Amino acid sequence: MDWTWFHKFGSPPHVYRLAGTLTPWFAWPAGILIIAALYGGLVLAPPDYQQGDGFRIIYVHAPSAWLSTMVYAVMASAAAVGLIWRMKVAHAVAASCAGVGASFTAASLVTGMLWGEPMWGTWWVWDPRLVAQLVLLFLFLGYIGLRSAIDDLGRADRASAVLAIVGVVNLPIIRYSVEWWNSIHQTPSVMKMDRPSMPMDMLAPLLMMLLGFTLFFVAVLLVRLRAEVLRRERGAAWVKEVVS
Amino acid sequence: MIGAALAVLARDLRLALRRPGQVLQPLAFFAVVTVLFPLGYTPELDKLRQIAPGVLWVAALLASLLSLESLFREDAQDGTLEQILLAGQPLAALALAKTAAHWLLTGLPLTLMAPMLGIALGVPASAMPGILSSLALGTVTLSLVGAVGAALTLGVRRGGVLLGLLTLPLTVPTLVFGARATELAIAGEGPSGALYLLAALAVLAVTLAPLAVAAALRIGSE
Amino acid sequence: MFAGLRFAVSAGLCLQVVGDNGAGKTTLLRTLAGLLEPDEGEVRWNGQRVETRSLEFQREFVYLGHQPPLKDDLTGRENLRFGLALRGTAPAGDAGRAIDAALAEVGATALGDRLVRSLSTGQRRRIALAALRLTAARIWLLDEPVTNLDAAGQAVVASMVASQLDAGGIVVAATHQDLGLAPARCPQLVLGRRA
């Protein structure tokens, strides 16, 4: 048992209960927003003048890609807090992020490939965004691998925290190098989402989806955090009470 | 502090001289991997010249990675790593000294060997200065980034595979800029733009990586 | 591992840590050395917390684990020279002479120029003791210092510990063997039993 947690930022049971209380406040709006955005994106929005209905995958692809980076940033920030202020609950947050982040990254890769097939006629093109997402997936997998390879929880927390911080420093450099590499080799890219001309009936569902995915991430993070706290505190008296 | 760092550097170089086989292994690996490409692809020098940048850089990357696994492991096993941690010296400086020794024993010889292997891949002599300078700069970053991975995987089961998974994604920028510099050098164009980027990476790595290595070593020796 | 431990050691005193295997003797020494952080509680030296120790402060401590921290492919003398340079210890006068004196004190003069690889476990321990003598540290943290040593080697440890205490140092040693000190100078700390 570690009591520094108590001294500093509230007890594990407190975190457990707080996360439980907060979960519905994120889960319900996330569900409503995502359903509304799906209706708006798949039914109400007109087909794209170039891509037809194929563009509609953007409503899953773009939020996944956006969240994959955001989750890495959240994970690295939580890891840094855990490392610097020795806050165990922050390490638990970082640990809970990794799987979600890897899933979002994988989702963005798969949807990117699905999008690519009708556009380029092939499942994989060395598009800089896809390559960057692939490297990000490896970073997540490395983080998960390091965590699972170290038996001692405290060591695993701190070593993986160092890795997450190293990764977050490198991420912009990797992105830049991949863009630079692409500018030389001139691969085709249709995944430009910075078109200023996107009409409002296409854009509004996308923004709703971004917000919906973000809230969904927070809800999932809270649920996973509860599980993580229980796992770490197994054997403690309060866990036995909660479980029974 | 400088005395202690130099002592670490000198010690690692002396140890390497007493066991030259360990120094030669990554170099032989570099040569073998490079030689496999003509056998697996084509002996035509015109075609090999086109893939030479990628082959040289990926082979150098893997050779460097291979030698990193033992960077801290032996010191951890014989207990001298603990003495280094407890020496009352800035640990980042000592970590930088160990990494410098690794570069002198791996990165530098790999760089010096590259022209020979380049010839086997049909690279013209005029490209050699560009290849030498790009590898010299790039291997500095590889040693430092790899040292972070080696420190993090210290004492971990099947650390070698994990070391690759942790380190290789972080070496993407070095690979991109290094291979591009080599490509430009082979094409007879000035590689200086890519070399500047490699130099910037090396400076960043020299500044930040030792701090991460020091933190990882402290965690790993708990 | 252990909890509810509270003790203080003053200058000129030794603390002998005893306890069953797995009671946490090594963990305690590594915590005192600063290699491990206590889950709870703290270590203080002259009122300063060990966790926040400065570099100068760190040099007051030396930790000798049960394995002699030596490089197999260096000679004893090279190992000692590295130890001096690593800690930045400037011995009075010539470094070579200081190393000779330390080797003579532990009875290992003849071993100094041999590769550590060729030495027996007990001989390695003697070289490690010479390295200990060469540090200017005031606090010695010794894990099983007399294991693998013959009677003469054990006497060397006892006299080194005594002279360190005479010079106002502190020795914390995890060992079951008698260090040949008066009980008043070397109280015992028993781990693993509720007092």
A66-98 tens-digit pLDDT? 999 999 999 999 999 999 888 889 999 999 999
Three-point CA angle B96, B101, B107, nearest 5°: 105
Spatial distance between the Cα atoms of B112 and B31, rounded to a whole number of angstroms: 12
Residue C2 is assigned to a structural domain of this protein:
no
Cα torsion for B93, B98, B99, B103, to the nearest 10°? 130
DSSP letter assigned to residue C190: E
Give chain A's contact residues with C (Cβ, < 8 Å).
2-4
Spatial distance between the Cα atoms of A4 and A87, rounded to a whole number of angstroms: 8
- Please state the φ and ψ torsions of residue C66, each to the nearest 5 degrees: -70, -15
DSSP letter assigned to residue B10: H
Instruction: CATH number of the domain at C176, please.
Output: 3.40.50.300
Cβ(B130)–Cβ(B191) below 8 Å:
yes
- Please state the φ and ψ torsions of residue B197, each to the nearest 5 degrees: -65, -40
Through-space distance between the first and last CA atoms of chain B, rounded to whole angstroms: 24
| Amino acid C147: pLDDT | 83
Q: Choose the weakest-confidence range: A41-50, A98-107, C112-121.
A: A41-50
Does the distance separating the beta carbons of A162 and B201 come in below 8 Å?
no
CA distance to A215, B54, B203, per residue, from B196 (Å): 42, 19, 10
Cβ(A169)–Cβ(A175) below 8 Å:
no
Three-point CA angle A13, A14, A16, nearest 5°: 60
Residue C187 is assigned to a structural domain of this protein:
yes
Does the distance separating the beta carbons of C68 and B7 come in below 8 Å?
no
- Specify the DSSP element, H or E, that contains B96: helix B91-102
Cβ(A23)–Cβ(A202) below 8 Å:
no
Residue C179 is assigned to a structural domain of this protein:
yes
Residue of A nearest to B166 (CA): A142
Does the distance separating the beta carbons of C69 and B78 come in below 8 Å?
yes
- Domain assignments of chain A as residue spans, ordered by start: 13-243
| Amino acid A196: pLDDT | 54
CB within 8 Å of chain C, chain B residues 71-110: 78-80, 82-90
User: What DSSP letter does each residue of A178-229 carry, written as one string?
Assistant: HHHHHHHH----------TT--HHHHHHHHHHHHHHHHHHHHHHHHHHHHHH
Does the distance separating the beta carbons of B90 and C55 come in below 8 Å?
yes
Spatial distance between the Cα atoms of A138 and A101, rounded to a whole number of angstroms: 11
ipTM score of complex: 0.92
Is residue A139 predicted with pLDDT exceeding 60?
yes
Cβ(B81)–Cβ(B221) below 8 Å:
yes
Question: Into how many domains does chain C fold?
Answer: 1
- Specify the DSSP element, H or E, that contains A128: helix A128-149
Cβ(B8)–Cβ(B83) below 8 Å:
no
Give the burial string for C140-173 (b: 16+ CB within 10 Å, else e): bbbbbbbeebeeebbebbbebbbebbeeebbbbb
> Residue B212: its chain A contacts at CB < 8 A?
162, 165-166
Does the distance separating the beta carbons of B4 and C88 come in below 8 Å?
yes
Spatial distance between the Cα atoms of B194 and B175, rounded to a whole number of angstroms: 11
User: What DSSP letter does each residue of C147-184 carry, written as one string?
Assistant: TT--HHHHHHHHHHHHHHHHTT-EEEEE-SS--S--TT
List CB contacts of C89: < 8 A, sequence separation 6 or more: C59, C134, C135, C136
Closest CA to B60 of B21, B104, B117: B117
Spatial distance between the Cα atoms of A244 and A225, rounded to a whole number of angstroms: 19
pLDDT (tens digit, 0 to 9) for every residue of chain B, 222 residues total?
Answer: 788 999 999 999 999 999 998 899 999 999 999 999 999 998 999 999 999 999 999 999 999 998 998 899 999 999 999 999 999 899 999 999 999 999 999 999 999 999 999 999 999 999 999 999 999 999 999 999 999 999 999 988 888 899 999 999 999 999 999 999 999 999 988 889 999 999 999 999 999 999 999 999 999 887
Does the distance separating the beta carbons of B216 and A149 come in below 8 Å?
no
Question: Which member of B11, B89, B222 has the closest CB to residue C35?
Answer: B222
The minimum CA-CA distance between C190 and chain A, rounded to whole Å, is 23
Strand partners, C173: C16, C142
Spatial distance between the Cα atoms of A206 and A203, rounded to a whole number of angstroms: 5
Q: What residue ranges in chain B does DSSP mark as E strands?
A: none
Question: Which member of C69, C73, C88 has the closest CB to residue B79?
Answer: C69
Maximal CA-CA distance, chain A: 62
DSSP H helices, C1-120, are: 25-33, 55-58, 76-87, 95-105
Question: Into how many domains does chain B fold?
Answer: 1
Cβ(C142)–Cβ(C152) below 8 Å:
no
Does the distance separating the beta carbons of B6 and C58 come in below 8 Å?
no
Does the distance separating the beta carbons of A177 and B173 come in below 8 Å?
yes
> Residue A3: its chain C contacts at CB < 8 A?
39-40
Three-point CA angle A103, A108, A111, nearest 5°: 120
A1 confidence band (pLDDT: 50, 70, 90): very low
The minimum CA-CA distance between B217 and chain A, rounded to whole Å, is 9
Is residue A238 predicted with pLDDT exceeding 90?
no
> Residue C82: its chain B contacts at CB < 8 A?
7, 11
Give pLDDT tens digits for B21-60.
889 999 999 999 999 999 999 899 999 999 999 999 999 9
Spatial distance between the Cα atoms of B69 and A11, rounded to a whole number of angstroms: 40
**By the CB < 8 Å criterion, does B13 face chain C?**
no
Segments forming the whole domain that contains residue C91: 14-191
Spatial distance between the Cα atoms of C114 and C77, rounded to a whole number of angstroms: 8
DSSP letter assigned to residue C194: -
- Check residue B158 and give left, alpha or beta (phi > 0: left; psi -120 to 50: alpha): left
Spatial distance between the Cα atoms of B84 and A162, rounded to a whole number of angstroms: 20
Three-point CA angle A44, A47, A52, nearest 5°: 150
pTM score, two decimals? 0.91
Question: Which member of C68, C73, C86 has the closest CB to residue B19?
Answer: C73
In the chain, the amino acid numbered C191 is L
Residue A236 tokens, joined: 């403690």
Tell which of C71, C72, C81, C125 to mutate to test the B interface (max B CBs under 10 Å): C71
> Residue C78: its chain B contacts at CB < 8 A?
14
Question: Which member of C61, C67, C73 has the closest CB to residue B79?
Answer: C67
- Please state the φ and ψ torsions of residue C188, each to the nearest 5 degrees: -105, 145
Q: Which residues of chain C have pLDDT under 50?
A: 194-195
Spatial distance between the Cα atoms of B31 and B25, rounded to a whole number of angstroms: 10
Spatial distance between the Cα atoms of B181 and B127, rounded to a whole number of angstroms: 10
Segments forming the whole domain that contains residue B151: 2-220
Beta carbons within 10 angstroms of residue A15's beta carbon = 22
CB within 8 Å of chain B, chain A residues 141-180: 141-142, 145-146, 149-150, 152, 154-155, 158-159, 162-163, 165-167, 169-170, 173-174, 176-178, 180
Is residue A3 predicted with pLDDT exceeding 70?
no
Closest CA to C14 of C191, C158, C134, C148: C158
Give pLDDT tens digits for A158-215.
999 999 999 999 999 999 999 888 887 765 555 555 555 677 778 888 899 999 999 9
> Residue C40: its chain A contacts at CB < 8 A?
2-4
Does the distance separating the beta carbons of B80 and C69 come in below 8 Å?
yes
